[in-house]
Amino acid sequence: MISAKFDFLITENARAANHPSLTYKYSEFTQAVKEGNVEKVVIFIDAGAAVVELNDGKKAKVSLAPDSDLFDLLQRNNVDVRVGSS
């Protein structure tokens, strides 16, 4: 019984880690990057979205806007950028 509860908690924690509870507007996302609050971004090109990991460990999702300066902004602010598959 204890093992089953433990397995459930691990599964729920893994789900929570992959499904951010916060949602950012694109402008909020870029502002957080400029303020140095973003540690990592995983971009899902096919979905036109990204999962943002903040410096405090929280995660947020954001719909991406067409922005030719995005990668430069992320690079200037030392954000770890990855591409995920949806």
Residue 9 or 50, more confident: 50
| Residue 9 is assigned to a structural domain of this protein | no
Q: What is the average pLDDT across 55-60?
A: 94
Asked if the model's pLDDT at residue 44 lies above 70, the reply is yes
Q: What is the average pLDDT across 59-83?
A: 95
Task: At 16, list the tokens.
Answer: 């929570």
| Residue 7 is assigned to a structural domain of this protein | no
Q: What angle do CA 10, 22, 81 make, to 5 degrees?
A: 85
In the β-sheet with 59-63, what is the strand arrangement from edge to edge? Answer: 22-24, 59-63, 49-54, 38-44, 80-83
Confidence of residue 6 (pLDDT cuts 50, 70, 90): very low
| Residue 39 is assigned to a structural domain of this protein | yes
Q: What is the average pLDDT across 10-20?
A: 47
- The CATH number linked to 75 is 3.30.720.210
Asked if the model's pLDDT at residue 61 lies above 90, the reply is yes
| Residue 10 is assigned to a structural domain of this protein | no
| Residue 49 is assigned to a structural domain of this protein | yes
Give residue 49's pLDDT: 95
Number of domains in the chain: 1
Q: What is the average pLDDT across 7-29?
A: 64
| Residue 32 is assigned to a structural domain of this protein | yes
Domain of 47, in residue numbers: 20-83
Give residue 50's pLDDT: 96
Structural contact between residues 25 and 61, judged by C-beta atoms closer than 8 angstroms = no
